Structure 1
């Protein structure tokens, strides 16, 4: 992997700050995403898309996708991902004929064009909704790295799931928590890289695994803090429906947990999906890095059947990852508890996230 895409540098966060505003005709997409996210229902969000399609806005934008610089194309894709989630279209393939019966063809065209421009086709997932949808609340210094900004600065969402005159919703806070989890998990990527290629008996294995366990404990403490702050935040049935739909698609998996899974050989646990399914929303280079990590961690995985200090450290790291996943699953459940309660269907969907 090229150094500029090396997750040890900034995790799976973008290499530069996400674009807080689009320019020119693309401001229409900014407005559509903001309105759809704050819409009280899927039907209202879909009505907004229909209006934008009838006015010709979406046709104009689709024709201009090829002119976008890469980082602007990613920014536009994030806005489209928000609209898709708000409209309840997370299970649609924009190129499938059946999709035309659910969504306006001009919106599907814009969606497909941005997917073609990007380095990942299925971008309607937590990594896109979160890692490209944040900004520091104050102007950052030029020399501060992206991961350091996300760790040390107060963050605000670019597209809010709550109206601007109201406090941040639980869904907003969950998305920002995902950004901070990725930023604080930077040491996870570095330790994973240091463990890759090692074999049982290597003097550094037990030390690196113990450090990995400490990082996971620190991330768990951070998630407990996020949950306490999230509890008093407002939530709506519409926002709950967005998260349930993403959970049903296996699209809530934080990349930092996928990294821990790869190095510890445990496989995905969020909803029980396969590694391919859980990783399909990531950019190509990130998926390639994780696949390489799978292969290079094969020697570490043999500790499952061994005894001794290395094996003890390995099992402790696995246990700490299980605890971290449960804590993250509890954060997601807290985010989906709308004020009016949660339906039995939502309870079943969220139970599968554990």
Structure 2
């Protein structure tokens, strides 16, 4: 049995329903969404002047059902590089807080913005943000929250007001409501919405190709302007490139959905998955030397430590592989899997849940013998090795001194 259009139609319909997204009509849901397809009448690719208008060129009130086969969990268009109008205050605030020497200094900067009524002015304008610009604002709020040591807080909890600036909490809560995502202070927001190509490409290219082939720079730097990128900067850019290289993993996950374990094409797809995971591991190794040689401050290491403690550093592409192979169910069960996924937008969580269900037949190979089961176990082992390599990269970024080399890529 091969993956039928009916199965793929079910996955997309389920994802749209679970994410609360509108269902498309008059089109075959089994047809692939072209890479980088934007809303009608909008351009895709690099940021244009229209992208930085108050609506960012986005006029749709709600996002379309998400298809990771188009560009994985990367945003559909490059992140907003510079906000305009009143939101330039948030731009400046995030950049100043990110390079603060310690948490106390970062908190003082936020308090100063509160006294100038900047945070209140921003909160009053949240409802006017387009979805794309709301994501851009969320990234800047996440930078501020984690820099101040508030990343683990619930901005709407009364106890949070005893710890964090109240006006900032109100802005944070308003942004969370606007993007319909409460726990966005994590790597998916801090990395995948905080990059830009160093130079504008001369032609339009899909966003995953853009992130793979162009030199990337952070929008909000953790290192001061004019200084080399820090380890934290390089880790976040490495996570973005990992997602871009992992686009084939998302497409293979979609291919494996609904396949029977005894389907003759299943082991072929699993072997391809092994090769992709080896390639992703090699990609991480290629990032290690520059990251280890980059500077790091105590404040940047504190930010990394806080994110790691919250389980907020898991790359989405690893979660996609886990949804196919079921590794997360072992450590230590379904609770951990959902704990990691809470940092993803609703449409991404819905897609992963659909993969959990539709790849369940393939996962029964874990309890079988024979060559097909051996290929499945090889895929599991390659994912475990990939996750360990990523963990080693995070440990290198958090180390007080340049770390040693990572284990050799298999």
- What TM-score do you get using the length of structure 1 for normalisation? 0.94
Cα deviation, 1:166-225, whole Å, max 9, x if unaligned, reads: 100000000000000000000000001101111111011000000000000000011011
Alignment partner of 2:341 out of 272, 279, 291: 279
Alignment partner of 1:243 out of 301, 304, 307: 304
Quote the offset at 1:141 in angstroms: 4.0
Quote the offset at 1:41 in angstroms: 0.2
Cα deviation, 1:127-169, whole Å, max 9, x if unaligned, reads: 0000000000001245211111000000000000000121000
Counterpart CA distance in 2 for 1:103 and 1:24 is 26
User: Could you say if the C-alpha distance between residues 183 and 71 of structure 1 is closer, same or farther in structure 2, counting changes exceeding 3 Å?
Assistant: same
Alignment partner of 2:285 out of 200, 209, 224: 224
Partner of 2:196: 135
Partner of 2:229: 168
Partner of 1:291: 353
Q: Which moved more, 1:139-148 or 1:32-41?
A: 139-148
Give the match's secondary structure for 1:267. helix
Higher helix share: 1
Partner of 1:103: 164
Partner of 1:179: 240
Quote the offset at 1:338 in angstroms: 2.7
Cα deviation, 1:321-341, whole Å, max 9, x if unaligned, reads: 011001000000000013499
Partner of 2:399: 337
Alpha-carbon contact 2:396-2:402 (below 8 Å) kept: no
Number of residue pairs the alignment of both structures matches: 341
Counterpart CA distance in 1 for 2:325 and 2:261 is 13
Counterpart CA distance in 2 for 1:340 and 1:224 is 15
Partner of 1:320: 382
Partner of 2:328: 267
Identify unmatched segments of 5+ residues in structure 2.
1-11, 17-32, 34-63, 404-410
Identify unmatched segments of 5+ residues in structure 1.
342-354
Give the match's secondary structure for 1:307. coil
Q: Which moved more, 1:175-184 or 1:142-151?
A: 142-151
Quote the offset at 1:282 in angstroms: 0.5
Give the match's secondary structure for 1:262. helix
User: Could you say if the C-alpha distance between residues 270 and 302 of structure 1 is closer, same or farther in structure 2, counting changes exceeding 3 Å?
Assistant: closer
Counterpart CA distance in 2 for 1:101 and 1:331 is 35
Give the match's secondary structure for 2:293. coil
- What TM-score do you get using the length of structure 2 for normalisation? 0.81
Confirm whether residue 65 of structure 1 aligns to residue 126 of structure 2. Answer: yes
Give the match's secondary structure for 2:347. helix
User: Could you say if the C-alpha distance between residues 270 and 231 of structure 1 is closer, same or farther in structure 2, counting changes exceeding 3 Å?
Assistant: farther
Alpha-carbon contact 1:198-1:205 (below 8 Å) kept: yes
Alpha-carbon contact 1:25-1:61 (below 8 Å) kept: yes
Alpha-carbon contact 1:248-1:271 (below 8 Å) kept: no
